[in-house]
């Protein structure tokens, strides 16, 4: 797993001539904390991240910094959220926070929209989960790799899917906004 992530970091470092910006919105204690090219976030304040925000607020902050404060557009996003509503609730219970109703309906979509809209063609997302949906075509991404890790010894038995996507076009929503404002 780590090799997949390191390969993506190397790819982006080469492509950006060493200037890449990586984003990890659910960083926990990930190795990316020691990588100066990454901005990290985790809701749980126990983890020593740049931000301890809810995913949507974190994405809004990154978008705002890109659009108004000259932050580089993200080259590489690691997306490793809780994989189910059950896991999400457990995380919230674990840190004594209330899970809001909107989060149970649309766990990550709005944050993905915000982040995707700041990303350039050629940038990449690595998503972890029980599905391979990732950021998806609607946001302008195309799959470039799919890795399946069978969790034989785990109770839930779902395979963990690691999906690598590359941005190939701006999202259809961006074009709609352009047309509407013409």
Ligand X SMILES: C[S@@+](CC[C@H](N)C(=O)[O-])C[C@H]1O[C@@H](n2cnc3c(N)ncnc32)[C@H](O)[C@@H]1O
Q: Where in 68-127 is the site for ligand X (CB under 6 A)?
A: 80-82, 88, 91
CB of 159 to ligand X, least distance (A): 15
Residue 38 contacts ligand X per CB under 6 A: no
| Cβ atoms 90, 43 nearer than 8 A | no
Q: How far is the CB of 114 from ligand X (least distance, A)?
A: 13
44 touching ligand X, by CB under 6 A: yes
Min CB(33)–ligand X separation in Å: 10
Which of 8, 30, 40, 127 lies at the binding interface for ligand X (CB under 6 A)?
Answer: 30
DSSP-derived secondary structure for 76-138: EEEE---SSHHHHHHHHHHTT-PPPHHHHHSSSHHHHHHHHHHPPTT-EEEEEESS--SS-GG
Neighbours of 122 (CB within 10 A): 12
| 33 is a contact residue toward ligand X (CB under 6 A) | no
Residue 42 interacting with ligand X (CB under 6 A): yes
44 DSSP assignment? S
């Amino acid at each position: 797993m780590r090799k997949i992530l390191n390969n993506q970091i190397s790819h982006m470092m080469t492509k950006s001539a060493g200037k890449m910006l990586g984003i990890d919105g659910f960083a926990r204690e990930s190795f990316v904390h020691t990588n100066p090219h990454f901005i990290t976030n985790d809701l749980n304040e126990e983890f020593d991240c740049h931000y301890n925000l809810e995913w949507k607020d974190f994405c809004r902050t990154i978008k705002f910094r890109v659009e108004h404060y000259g932050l580089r557009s993200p080259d590489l996003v690691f997306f490793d959220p809780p994989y189910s509503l059950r896991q999400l609730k457990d995380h919230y219970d674990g840190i004594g926070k209330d899970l809001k109703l909107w989060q149970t309906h649309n766990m990550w979509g709005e944050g993905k929209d915000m982040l995707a809209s700041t990303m350039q063609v050629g940038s990449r997302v690595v998503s972890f989960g029980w599905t391979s949906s990732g950021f998806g075509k609607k946001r302008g991404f195309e799959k470039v790799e799919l890795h399946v890790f069978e969790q034989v010894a785990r109770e839930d038995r779902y395979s963990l899917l690691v999906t690598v996507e590359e941005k190939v076009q701006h999202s259809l929503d961006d074009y709609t906004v352009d047309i509407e404002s013409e």
